[in-house]
């Protein structure tokens, strides 16, 4: 506690110079020190490039994640001004990066509409980065300036000539500020895809030079109309045509609002996400544009439905409310205003009052016009809304039954083995599969804080069921009553969701490791995602990770949680007492050496395991890893960075073979073939390009980072005396390694990989391996030791970084459309492990 008697004088006041305020309180400027704050830096830079696109000066943006942990954003806009500013005597680019509230968007001269308006964005990036390098191409010259932690380390200088214009910002996030500096590809791809949808014609290229070397191009000609169609591509549509409107309200005035909206109804219960944007900035908490959209939709559709009900002569109709009109609706609302007012630097909500009435007016008019021009779709939308109203009323009654009946009939005493504590922060609920597992869990648990809820059979697939039907399902009723929060948007007093009534801080799904267990886990996750998503957002939902194997040797048992750990266990057991001899006449550097088991592990096997891991990533690019490793160039210590799957044969090119690569591509073009990357092919197919003839396309695969990682491992083996060919052997090979497993037994092996497999096989001897498929196979003590003891267990937290991606996955896997599910299975078939048939 602070000392109340301590003096507080003028000397206690501190003025933070330059960007120190941002470094001291980054949460105020970028929203936090977590992974969201980290990505906010990337999106601030991209937002500036998008502002250039809004002004008509930028067509291409490239975002790159580099191997050294840095990020580079490049655009082909006008370039940040490099001339001297009369007010400060500094180059414009230095002001933009170091002077708070300095920028070109305050008076609206250079930018009619822009997302950036506080003059903070690039300063926040600079302040929160260990190193920032900005390159500007302008007026025929290349200009470079450098900073470190917000302070200039190198003055602006001309470094060469330039024929192009634009800006490149490279930054390395400061590890002393952020909890993590690992950029997430999926998070970035989602945001960049959104921006490409919002900015018609803008091409955004995302390149990840780390790991597998991912690469995507986002380029959409129909903008947000295509955004809605893309999101709903795997759903059953109520209206096939996307409702789209684009209109300026009060053109030429200071209060001018450019409104663009696209929306479509799909079969299913609940309102789908409504994405709202102000000047291309995502406003996750909505704002005046969202309020205006809901009002306009309700007015336009409400008037039509009233006439529809009268015309059809329907009686005793439950008339829809605003929530019913939005049942199954997916919408994207984008507005542009001259003087945007956002909530906070992270711009989570749009506040401009003139936007609400503008969006309301435009959407209501568009809705009425659409309904008049599309009578068949209008009828389906009306019936959909009326059904939603009836379902809402039925669900309300069913929810009331669940709320009152479950607790009043003593359900918790008969079905749930509750814990003793009544403090939710200390309590855990294990949802287990079947009575046998439930019995072991009840016996093995710590009754003080662990509750057990056994489920009988598979629960209902809520993706396909109505809310009323779902609430009649006994196991769903048991779940809702046990968790205590209720579900739905109704008032909590009527059974609606209320997180303050959560009875357990941790809700842990614990199912068997077989196919039935996976199915039940997926059904439960579908239920939580569709009905209790706030619990996922709050970090309350977990999946238990019971061991896959029990390994017994000489009456001693240990538990193994994964196949990777199993391979490591077998290797550890196999090298006990083993050694490997390299014959003296073998033409490699290690000739004549003998390796103990520990030496084999540290000098050979650890590197082979890295190559195994890399091989799985290489395979996912359609490349045979063994053939690929055979292309290792010992002189340059490299592997091919570019592969072209020619119709004749696969061609490999190293970095030092750029001229040969360009020559080959030229020859293929002359022969009538297009050489394209997977991203370019996907982009052309997304654009529905009818001119793309796949028979005339040869795929170009770039994998510089995988090539570097694998080449580094192979060169490490070379340093230890093992030539690259020894990894997998070679044709007509006479040389052999000799593996000695005991005094009298030597096994000849042809390659290092064969040596590793032989060691693993040796590790299997004399041991018993039990693969657990059911939790009921463990006794109570085993279940406690491996899966329920907080000191030993491993829990996987269920998170939702990308709501749209989660929605798409549940729709594909659990929805009623068969074709998207078949395509998903075919696309990912090669990634399946431990298929249980």
* Out of 19-23, 257-261, 275-279, 561-565, least confident range: 19-23
Active site residue 27: no
754: phi then psi, degrees, rounded to nearest 5: -65, -35
The rounded distance, in Å, linking the Cα atoms of 390 and 384 is: 10
Two tokens at 362? 């435009």
Query: How confident is the model over 422-434, as a mean pLDDT?
Result: 93
Containing 706, the helix (H) or strand (E) segment is helix 704-719
Query: In this structure, is residue 463 part of a structural domain?
Result: yes
Are the C-beta atoms of residues 750 and 413 closer than 8 Å to each other? Answer: no
Residues present in the chain in total: 837
Closest CA to 651 of 631, 677, 673, 676: 631
Question: Looking at 152-156, 199-203, 388-392, which range is the least confident one?
Answer: 388-392
Q: What is the pLDDT of residue 121?
A: 79
pLDDT score of 70 more than 80: yes
Question: Which region holds residue 60: left if phi is over 0, alpha if psi is between -120 and 50, else beta?
Answer: beta
Instruction: Say how far apart CA 610 and CA 149 lie, in whole Å.
Output: 35
The band of 676, judged by pLDDT with boundaries at 50, 70 and 90, is confident
For residue 13, the model assigns a pLDDT of 39
- Tell which residue, 815, 268, 270, has the closest CA to residue 497: 270
Q: Are residues 329 and 192 in the same domain?
A: no
Structure tokens that stand for 747 in this block: 């096994």
Residues with Cβ within 8 Å of residue 423, at least 6 apart in sequence: none
Check whether 281 has a pLDDT greater than 90: no
Does 734 reside within a domain? Answer: yes
The total number of structural domains in the chain stands at 5
Average pLDDT, the chain: 85
Q: pLDDT-based confidence at 161, cuts 50/70/90?
A: very high
Q: 356 and 321 in one domain?
A: yes
Q: Chain centroid to CA 68: how far?
A: 21
Does residue 12 have a pLDDT over 70?
no
Domain annotation covers residue 585: yes
Query: Stretch 131-141: mean pLDDT, rounded?
Result: 95
Q: DSSP character for 239? A: S
Neighbours of 315 (CB within 10 A): 6
Q: What is the 8-class DSSP label of residue 203?
A: E
137 and 161 in a single domain? The answer is: yes
Q: Measured on CA atoms in the order 597, 600, 606, 609, is the torsion positive or negative?
A: negative
The CATH number covering residue 204 comes to: 3.30.565.10
Q: Supply 74's token pair.
A: 């490049």
Same domain, 189 and 271: no
DSSP letter assigned to residue 460: P
| 487 confidence band (pLDDT: 50, 70, 90) | confident
Q: Give the closest residue to 726 by CA, choosing from 632, 650, 640.
A: 632
* Percent share of the chain, pLDDT over 90: 47
From residue 672, give the alpha-carbon distance in Å to each of 24, 109, 212, 648. 59, 49, 30, 14
Average pLDDT over residues 474-478: 87
Query: Rounded to an integer, what distance in angstroms lies between the CA atom of residue 69 and that of residue 229?
Result: 35
Integer Cα distance of 590 and 767 in angstroms = 33
Query: And the tokens for 196?
Result: 């490409």
Q: Which one has a higher pLDDT value, 9 or 321?
A: 321
Mean pLDDT of 56-71: 93
Instruction: List the one residue out of 274, 279, 306 whose CA is nearest residue 292.
Output: 274
- Residue 222: the pLDDT is 92
Q: Is the pLDDT of residue 510 over 80?
A: yes
Q: Are 240 and 362 contained in the same domain?
A: yes
Average of pLDDT values for 474-501?
80
Q: Region 549-553: what's the mean pLDDT?
A: 91
| Residue 242 within a domain | yes
Query: Domain end: 771, 801, 820, which one?
Result: 771
Place of tokens 């569709």: 530
135: CB partners within 8 A, 6+ apart: 142, 143, 144, 159, 167, 168, 170
Structure confidence at residue 627 (pLDDT): 92
**Does a structural domain hold residue 69?**
yes
Q: Which of 243-252, 266-275, 483-492, 800-809: highest mean pLDDT? A: 243-252
Rounded Cα distance between 122 and 103, Å, is 10
> Dihedrals φ, ψ of 331, to 5°?
-140, 150
Angstrom distance (rounded) from CA 704 to CA 655: 9
Structural tokens at position 278? 């102000």
Burial 581-591 (b: 16+ CB within 10 A, else e): ebeeebebebe
Average pLDDT in the 517-544 region? Answer: 90
Per-residue model confidence (pLDDT) at position 236: 87
Q: What is the pTM of this model?
A: 0.67
Report CA-CA distances (Å) from 90 to 84, 102, 134, 150, 369: 5, 11, 15, 16, 55
**pLDDT at res. 188:** 95
Residue 121 lies in a domain: yes
DSSP states along 374-400? -HHHHHHHHHHHHHHHHHHHHHHHHHH
Contact predicate 229/688, CB 8 Å: no
User: Of 337, 369, 385, which residue sits at a domain end?
Assistant: 385
The pLDDT value recorded for residue 832 is 58
Task: Give how far Cα 419 sits from Cα of 394, 412, 438, 446, Å.
Answer: 34, 11, 14, 8
Asked whether residue 270 carries a pLDDT value surpassing 50, the answer given is yes
471: nearest Cα among 412, 548, 541, 530 = 530
- Which of 215, 260, 433, 475 is catalytic? The answer is 433
Query: Is there a catalytic annotation at residue 255?
Result: no
Do 192 and 230 sit in the same domain of this protein?
no
Q: What's the mean pLDDT in 172-193?
A: 93
Q: What are phi and psi of 641, to 5 degrees?
A: -95, -20
Mean pLDDT of 47-63: 91
Print the domain residue range for 646.
642-682+695-702
pLDDT surpasses 60 at 625: yes
Domain boundary among 771, 789, 808: 771
**Edge-first strand listing for the sheet containing 768-771:** 556-560, 549-553, 768-771
Q: Are residues 588 and 713 in the same domain?
A: yes
Query: Residue 17 — very low, low, confident or very high, per pLDDT cuts 50/70/90?
Result: low
Report helix, strand or coil for 773: coil
**pLDDT score of 113:** 53
**pLDDT confidence of residue 446:** 95
* DSSP per-residue string spanning 78-102: S----SBPTTTSSBHHHHHHHSTT-
130, 146, 368, 516: the active-site residue: 516
- In whole angstroms, what is the distance from residue 289 CA to residue 224 CA? 15
Strands (DSSP E) contained in 586-668 are 594-596, 642-645, 650-653
| pLDDT value for 182 | 93
Query: What's residue 672's pLDDT?
Result: 86
Tokens coding 155: 């003055």
Per-residue pLDDT at 811 exceeds 90? no
The CATH number of the domain holding residue 420 is 3.40.50.670
* Interval 678-704: pLDDT, tens: 877 776 665 555 566 777 888 898 888
Mean pLDDT, to the nearest integer, of 598-605? 92
Respond yes or no: is residue 689 known to be catalytic. no
Do the beta carbons of residue 480 and residue 459 sit within 8 Å?
no
Question: Is the same domain home to 247 and 207?
Answer: no
Catalytic-residue membership of 789:
no
Q: What is the mean pLDDT of residues 519-548?
A: 90
pLDDT at 56 over 90: no
Q: Are 505 and 428 in contact (CB under 8 A)?
A: yes
Q: For residues 232 and 251, state if they share a domain.
A: yes
Tell me what the mean pLDDT of segment 65-94 comes to. Answer: 91
Q: Coil, strand or helix: which one is 47?
A: helix
pLDDT tens string 636-663: 999 999 999 987 789 999 988 989 999 9
| Residue 13 lies inside a defined structural domain of this protein | no
Per-residue pLDDT, 815:
72
Verify that 626 and 651 share a domain, yes or no.
Answer: no
Element (H, E) at 567: helix 563-574
Residue 3 falls inside a structural domain: no
Q: Are 545 and 786 in contact (CB under 8 A)?
A: no
pLDDT of residue 20: 79
Residue 27 has pLDDT above 50, yes or no: yes
Question: 534: exposed, middle or buried (C-beta count within 10 Å: 0-12, 13-18, 19+)?
Answer: middle
pLDDT at 369: 95
Q: Which has the higher per-residue pLDDT, 445 or 680?
A: 445
Main-chain phi, psi angles of 423, to 5 degrees: -95, 110
pLDDT at residue 187 greater than cutoff 60? yes
Among 208, 271, 512, 603, the active-site one is 512
Hey, what are 738's tokens? 């000799």
The pLDDT assigned to 14 comes to 42
Exactly one of 20, 146, 212, 514 is catalytic; name it: 514
User: Residue 107 — pLDDT band, cuts 50, 70, 90?
Assistant: very low
Distance of alpha carbon 829 from alpha carbon 441, whole angstroms: 34
Q: Nearest Cα to 236, choosing from 65, 126, 380?
A: 380
Residues 273 and 379 in one domain: yes
Residues 626 and 669 in one domain: no
- Looking up tokens 């199915």 gives 519
Position with higher pLDDT, 742 vs 563: 563
Which pLDDT score is estimated for 106?
40
């Amino acid at each position: 506690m602070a000392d109340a008697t301590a003096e507080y004088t003028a000397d206690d006041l501190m003025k933070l110079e330059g960007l120190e305020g941002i470094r001291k309180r980054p949460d105020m400027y970028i929203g936090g020190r977590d992974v969201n704050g980290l990505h906010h830096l990337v999106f601030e830079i991209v937002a500036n490039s998008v502002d250039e696109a809004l002004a008509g000066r930028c067509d291409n943006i490239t975002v790159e994640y580099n191997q050294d942990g840095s990020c580079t954003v490049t655009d082909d806009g006008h370039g940040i001004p490099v001339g001297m500013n009369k007010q400060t005597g500094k180059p414009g680019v230095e002001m933009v990066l170091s002077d708070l509230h300095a920028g070109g968007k305050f008076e609206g001269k250079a930018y009619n509409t822009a997302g950036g308006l506080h003059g903070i964005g690039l300063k926040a990036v600079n302040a929160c980065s260990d190193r920032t390098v900005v390159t500007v191409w302008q007026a025929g010259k290349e200009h470079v300036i450098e900073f470190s932690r917000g302070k200039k380390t190198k003055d602006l200088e001309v470094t060469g000539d330039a024929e192009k214009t634009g800006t490149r910002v490279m930054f390395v996030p400061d590890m002393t500020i952020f909890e993590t500096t690992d950029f997430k590809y999926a998070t970035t791809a989602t945001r960049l895809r959104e921006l490409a949808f919002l900015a018609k014609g803008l091409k955004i290229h995302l390149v990840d030079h780390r790991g597998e070397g991912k690469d995507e191009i986002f380029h959409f000609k129909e903008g947000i109309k295509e955004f809605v169609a893309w999101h709903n591509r795997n759903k059953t549509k109520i209206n096939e045509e996307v409702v789209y409107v684009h209109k300026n309200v009060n053109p030429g005035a200071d209060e001018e609002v450019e409104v663009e909206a696209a929306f479509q109804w799909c079969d299913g219960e609940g309102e789908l996400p409504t994405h709202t944007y102000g000047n291309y900035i995502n406003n996750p908490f909505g704002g005046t544009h969202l309020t205006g959209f809901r009002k306009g939709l309700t007015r336009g559709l409400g008037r039509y439905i009233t006439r529809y009900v009268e015309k059809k002569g329907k009686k005793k109709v439950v008339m829809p409310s605003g929530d019913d009109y939005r049942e199954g609706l997916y919408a994207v609302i984008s507005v542009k205003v001259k003087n945007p007012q956002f909530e906070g630097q992270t711009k989570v909500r749009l506040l401009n009052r003139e936007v609400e009435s503008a969006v309301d007016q435009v959407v209501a008019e568009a809705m009425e016009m659409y309904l008049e021009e599309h009578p068949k779709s209008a009828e389906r939308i009306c019936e959909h809304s009326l059904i939603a109203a009836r379902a809402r009323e039925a669900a309300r009654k069913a929810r009331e039954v669940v709320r009152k009946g479950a607790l009043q009939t003593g359900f918790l005493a008969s079905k749930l083995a509750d814990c003793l504590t009544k403090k939710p922060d200390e309590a855990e609920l294990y949802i287990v599969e079947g009575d046998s597992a439930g019995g072991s869990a009840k016996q093995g648990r710590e009754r003080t804080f662990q509750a057990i809820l056994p489920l009988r059979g598979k629960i209902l697939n809520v993706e396909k069921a109505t809310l009323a039907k779902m609430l009649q399902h006994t196991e769903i009723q048991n779940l809702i009553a046990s968790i205590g929060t209720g579900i739905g948007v109704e008032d909590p007093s009527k059974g609606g969701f209320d997180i303050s009534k959560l009875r357990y801080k941790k809700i842990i799904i614990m199912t068997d490791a077989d196919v039935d267990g996976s199915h039940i886990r997926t059904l439960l996750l579908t239920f939580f995602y569709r009905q209790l998503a706030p619990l996922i957002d709050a970090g309350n939902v977990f999946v238990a990770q019971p061991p896959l194997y029990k390994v017994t040797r000489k009456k001693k048992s240990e538990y193994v949680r994964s196949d990777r750990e199993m391979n490591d266990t077998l290797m550890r057991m196999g090298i006990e007492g083993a050694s490997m001899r390299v014959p003296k006449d073998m033409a490699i550097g290690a000739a004549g050496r003998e390796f103990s088991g520990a030496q084999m592990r540290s000098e050979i096997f650890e590197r082979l395991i890295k190559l195994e891991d890399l091989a799985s990533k290489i395979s996912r690019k359609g490349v045979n890893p063994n053939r690929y490793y055979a292309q290792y160039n010992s002189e340059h210590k490299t592997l091919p960075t570019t592969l072209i799957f020619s119709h004749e044969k696969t061609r490999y090119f190293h970095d030092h073979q750029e001229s040969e690569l360009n020559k080959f591509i030229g020859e293929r073009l002359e022969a009538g073939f297009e050489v394209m990357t997977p991203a370019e092919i996907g982009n052309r197919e997304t654009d529905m390009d009818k001119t793309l003839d796949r028979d005339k396309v040869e795929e170009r695969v770039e994998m510089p980072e995988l090539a570097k990682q694998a080449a580094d491992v192979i060169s490490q083996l070379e340093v230890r005396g093992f030539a690259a060919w020894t990894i997998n052997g070679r044709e007509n090979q006479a040389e052999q390694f000799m593996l000695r497993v005991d005094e009298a037994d030597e096994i000849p092996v042809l390659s290092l990989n064969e040596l590793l497999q032989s060691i693993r096989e040796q590790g299997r001897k004399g041991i018993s391996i039990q693969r657990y498929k059911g939790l009921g196979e463990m006794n109570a003590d085993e279940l406690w030791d491996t899966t329920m003891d907080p000191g030993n267990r491993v829990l996987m937290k269920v998170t939702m970084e990308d709501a749209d991606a989660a929605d798409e996955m549940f729709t594909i896997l659990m929805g009623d459309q068969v074709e998207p599910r078949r395509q998903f299975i075919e696309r990912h078939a090669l990634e399946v492990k431990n298929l249980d048939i």
